[in-house]
Structure formats: C-alpha cells, structure tokens
Amino acid sequence: GPGMAVALLTTFYGSIMANLVFLPMAGKLKVRSQEEVLIKELTIEGIMSVQSGDNPRIIATKLKAFISPKLRSKVSK
C-alpha cells in the first residue's frame, strides 16, 4: 500500500542523494584533507630542518621530495 510506496520512494531518493551529492562531496573533502596534511608535514619538516641548522639547499631538496614530480617541476622554476 501507501506505506510501501513511501518506503521505496525514500530509498530511491536516498540512493540518488548518496550517489549525486554525498559521494562527490566526500571525494573532494578527502583530497582537501590530504593536501592539508601534506602542507602541515612540509611545514614541520621545514621548521625542524631550519632549527637543526641544515643548509637551505638541503632543506629545499628535502621538502621537494614530499611533493609530486609534476608540482616539483613547477617549484624548481
């Protein structure tokens, strides 16, 4: 009856919302979270290297190792 129709309709809407809204949103949040963690790791590593008195060129090489080769070529320029 009508109760079953409502149950199926809400299940259908929930499935659509999950696949069209929430899964893409979760993917974007995951990428942003990974970027934020990378930035924090780079910052900590850089600060620790400066505190230990490392040569600036060595620090740059260490920090470039954290990023992807594609970004690394942009940073080198």
Domain ranges of the chain: 2-76
For the chain, residues with pLDDT lower than 70 are: 77
Which pTM was predicted?
0.68
What does the pLDDT read at residue 73?
Answer: 81
Phi-psi region of 53 (alpha: psi -120 to 50; beta: other; left: phi over 0): left
What does the pLDDT read at residue 8?
Answer: 96
Instruction: State the alpha helices, DSSP H only, in the chain.
Output: 2-17, 23-51, 56-64, 69-76
What does the pLDDT read at residue 35?
Answer: 93
What does the pLDDT read at residue 77?
Answer: 63
